[in-house]
Homo-oligomer: A and B are copies of this chain.
Amino acid sequence: MDCKSALDAVQGDLTAAVEFLRKKGLADAAKKQHREAREGMVSAYIHPGAKIGVLVEVDCETDFVARTEQLQQLVRDLAMQVAATSPSYVARDDVPAAVLEKEREIYRTQMADQKKPPQVLDKIVEGKIEKFYGEQCLLEQPFIKDPSGKTAVKDLVAQATAQTGERIVVKRFARFQVGESA
């Protein structure tokens, strides 16, 4: 074997190796979505006056990441967000089907006398459901600390995932306000 063919062979191996690693990398990223987030941290925010309090749990994969400043900042931001905006759910998947059906019914009743074609009506109703998600689901809300309104809370979580390389899950929150009936 001459020098040229030896070099070609090495080049071929290298290409195959790079291809292998690239495919594996993509597979790892896909897998990350299914990895379990069993570590995490709990944080609280008590609004001055102590009439509103919030408890938030955010999970990740390792205790190392749970202790990073990025994760702690995320949890603090989430607790303040919940105190300010009082969402009902973490994610849109958490809204019960019965609640969505009731919302749709209300919107349809509101527009009953406008005699719009059914497909137009459906579009308007689904637009209002999107608005409902944006108000009632923590992850869909605009982040209160971004005055432009362009950052959603889920973007913060995506940033934290990118910074830490771990799956980050907003697991749950509780919000107590003195004088609420519930």
Task: State the main secondary structure of chain A at its contact with B.
Answer: strand
Instruction: Give the interface size bracket for A toward B.
Output: 20 to 34
Q: Is A35 an interface residue (CB 8 A)?
A: no
Contact digits for A157-172, partner B, Cβ 8 Å, 1 yes 0 no: 0000000000000011
- How far does the alpha carbon of A45 sit from the alpha carbon of B174 in the complex, in Å? 13
For this chain, the copies found in one complex come to 2
B53 touches A57 (CB 8 A): yes
Q: Let me know if B54 and A178 touch, CB within 8 A.
A: no
Which residue of B is nearest A59, CB measured? B178
Do the beta carbons of B42 and A43 come within 8 Å of each other? no
- Asked if A74 is an interface residue, CB under 8 A from chain B, the answer is no
Q: Other than the known A41-B178, A55-B176, what 9 A-B pairs have Cβ atoms closer than 8 Å?
A: A42-B46, A42-B52, A43-B46, A43-B53, A44-B55, A54-B55, A57-B178, A59-B178, A171-B176
